[in-house]
Amino acid sequence: MGLSRMIKSLAVASLFSFTAHAGQQLHFQQGTINIQNGQVQASFDMAQESVSSTEYFIVQYKNHITNSDKKKLKAWGGQILRYIPDDAYLIKANSAVIAKLSQYPTVNGVIAYTSALKVSPQFAKENAGLTSKILVRVMTEQDLKAVSNAIANNGLGQVVFAKGQHVGLIAPAQAVSELARIEGVEWVEPYPKFEFLQFPLEKEWVQSIHQESFSYDGYETGTKVMNFDAAWGRGFTGRGQKVAFADTGLDSGDLGTIHRDFKNQIEKGYAYGLLSFSWNDPMGHGTHVAGSIASNGASSGGMVRGGAFESKLIAGGMWSQLLNNMFPPNDITVMFSDAKKDGARIHSNSWGSAQNLGAYDQFAQTVDEFSWNNPDMLVIFAAGNSGLDENSDGRVDQDSIGSPATAKNVLSVGASENKVSNGGIQRKLGDLKTQDGKQMFPAEPLASDYLSDDPNGIAAFSSRGPTDDGRIKPDIVAPGTNILSVRSQVKDASELWGCIDQDYCWCGGTSMATPLTAGAASVLRQYLATARGMSNPSAAMVKGLLMHTATDLYPGQYGNGGKASGQELLETKPNINQGFGLVDMDRATALDQDFLMDEANGVATGETLSYNVDVTGRAFITLTYTDAAAASGASRALVNNLDIRVLRGGQVLAEGSDSVNNFEYIDLPNATGTLTIEVRGTNVPTPRGNGKLPFALIVSSGS
């Protein structure tokens, strides 16, 4: 692919066909509201409380919101808080501003933000009444004290913490409706329970696999399946990069006594667990995770080492000795901010919630907010281990992604299979059972399959998408079955899936796939810095390039006999089982002429940027961008919408107009020639300070 013909141009009047858009529906988790000719109709029961004293409203425009609309709203004294789909803002304004907006020609309607829009539907689900810990989001930080005082003064619950825009409290479920009526409250939802995402196995299985002697074949760590060898051979080992992770801690938590596979690898450590003063790892999970990112393999002659073995690590320990369990800080962005302050631009998280699967909850929103405010920091989360075949059709069920992996801007990682037949857990999937004793995978072809016999397959337990609003998750997969990594030396630390000696043990889960992907991201950042001149690439570029170069595992490990015969993947990438596919570090670091554009300026609504790129053969085009966080009560998470169009000689070859995901992907056969690729700001209601939205564009060609 030649880059000499690359031309960048900006057009306000786009060549895209543009049809007038009429904003009439508002999309909330409770249902939809229609505003037409001054009449308001809702698909759910709206609260009837008095709204005369509220300062919080939703203003909907007749078409996509323009910069002129925003300037007028602000000039009148209105404060924009959130975007609400379609074409609306949640605002703070007095009655004079509302009167002006109601008469403004581009406004479709204004409604009060009432308590009916503030309560998570999860409270109405089965067993939700048992929820005792509740999370309240306030409109602005200035509302925090007043809301906290109102909760206490009205006896609605015991406030556990109040920080930023969140209040956590212990309260009976019947207090929820009263909480929602407090002025300044934006959203109320159950507080999730978090867990580490190793896949749990029966203890006797683990105890049966101790090995007195072990012969390595190179596949044990999972890096071989991901083609790390090719990247390492080119000199890309993560050198000069820093990766942070938050987990159960790391080995001894002391640089003087740390496991020798981490000697000179650790930059810093933090203790985040409740009443914890050490970042040591009494459980073992975090040490295994850290080893997959950046251990040096000293105890194995380099056979068991992380994907980015020359990167530095910043460890975060979330283990609470008091609770004998993990306890993430109430404000999880503290961990991300500490890491960034110390120089990390990748943060790996092998934990999440298995409650309210598929939901874009407060923790997903919080991570998206951090990513929006720190666009060069890639946050990575495990997708979860909630995959099962509940309807016994021989295929893993959909809709099992856990938060915060449901966030738009994170790189959500599912698990594929490693290639290990000697060591680890060698049991059939039909032997796996749920906590209540039911078979997880009772039907063929799943039942007789093994955990790590086919690297072209997805781990059966790996959580599948889509999210509740239809987005594709996970974004990518990496090996997560029978992964060998470093064992914690702390007395009584777990043996996880079993140990081969005092230095290394096996484990599995999306917990294991995630740090391998974090290592890949670190290696890729080194590649972008040294081979492509990007000293500080955006998270959108790193995420997009990993997705773009991933290997499509279609049709999966059970052949292409169709759904009835248990075909694993019914569609090519991207899809809700594998995302874009298996991380491929050979393709990601290939020293060719692929076109990479980390566009820092971006486009506004109605603007188009055009690029001319020469390609040979098939063209693969990926557009990614970091999106603004969605409103808590919105049922659609996408805020800003960018689209792409591909032309050759003035003829349109393909269009990407995804209005659900914050990416576009086009696979274009027979594309030889000079392509004009247009990136359009279809709708950018929440841009950066310059009024535009940055993006990353990747183009490659081949067979």
- 199 DSSP 8-state letter: P
User: Across residues 571-587, what is the average pLDDT?
Assistant: 98
Cα 203 from chain centre: 31
Q: How many CB atoms lie within 10 A of CB 688?
A: 18
**C-alpha distance across the termini of the chain, in Å:** 12
CATH number of 132-190, picked from 3.30.70.80, 3.40.190.80, 3.40.50.620, 1.10.10.10: 3.30.70.80
> Which is it for strands 411-416 and 312-317: parallel, antiparallel or unpaired?
unpaired
Task: For CATH 3.40.50.200, list the domain ranges present in the chain.
Answer: 196-565
Angle (nearest 5°) at CA 426 between 424 and 428: 145
Q: How many CB atoms lie within 10 A of CB 130?
A: 8
**In contact, 349 and 245? CB cutoff 8 Å:** yes
Report the top-level CATH class of 8-18+592-702: mainly beta
Q: Can you tell me whether residue 294 is helix, strand or coil?
A: helix
User: Across residues 431-458, what is the average pLDDT?
Assistant: 95
Can you tell me which residue has the tokens 């068991």?
Answer: 304
C-alpha 450/C-alpha 434 separation (Å) is: 17
**In contact, 317 and 187? CB cutoff 8 Å:** no
> Which is it for strands 378-382 and 346-349: parallel, antiparallel or unpaired?
parallel
Q: How many CB atoms lie within 10 A of CB 489?
A: 18
Judge whether residue 297 has pLDDT over 90.
Answer: yes
The residue with greater pLDDT, 326 or 255, is 255
**In contact, 415 and 463? CB cutoff 8 Å:** no
Distances (CA, A) of 418 to 425, 477, 524, 684: 12, 11, 21, 41
Task: For CATH 3.30.70.80, list the domain ranges present in the chain.
Answer: 25-117, 132-190
Of the candidates 200, 180, 178, 198, which has an alpha carbon nearest to the alpha carbon of residue 188? 180
Strand partners, 699: 595, 621
Tell the CATH superfamily of the 196-565 domain: Peptidase S8/S53 domain (3.40.50.200)
C-alpha 489/C-alpha 522 separation (Å) is: 26
**In contact, 13 and 603? CB cutoff 8 Å:** no
Contacts for 387-391 with beta carbons within 8 Å, 24 or more apart?
387/459, 387/460, 387/461, 387/462, 387/463, 387/464, 388/434, 388/440, 388/441, 388/460, 388/461, 389/440, 389/441, 389/442, 389/443, 389/446, 389/460
CATH number of 25-117, picked from 3.40.50.720, 3.40.1390.10, 3.30.70.80, 1.10.3720.10: 3.30.70.80
Q: What is the pTM of this model?
A: 0.96
Backbone angles phi, psi at 193, to 5 degrees: -100, 125
Q: Tens digits of per-residue pLDDT, 139-192?
A: 999 999 999 999 999 999 999 999 999 999 999 888 999 999 999 999 999 999
C-alpha 388/C-alpha 434 separation (Å) is: 9
- pLDDT of 8: 58
Q: How many CB atoms lie within 10 A of CB 5?
A: 11
Q: Tens digits of per-residue pLDDT, 373-411?
A: 999 999 999 999 999 999 999 999 999 999 999 999 999
C-alpha 245/C-alpha 335 separation (Å) is: 9
Backbone angles phi, psi at 364, to 5 degrees: -65, -45
Mean pLDDT across the chain: 93
Task: For CATH 2.60.120.380, list the domain ranges present in the chain.
Answer: 8-18+592-702
C-alpha 25/C-alpha 43 separation (Å) is: 11
User: Across residues 566-589, what is the average pLDDT?
Assistant: 98
Of the candidates 462, 478, 519, 455, which has an alpha carbon nearest to the alpha carbon of residue 291? 519
- pLDDT of 321: 83
pLDDT band at 15 (very low <50, low <70, confident <90, very high): very low
Q: Tens digits of per-residue pLDDT, 95-122?
A: 999 999 999 999 999 999 999 999 999 9
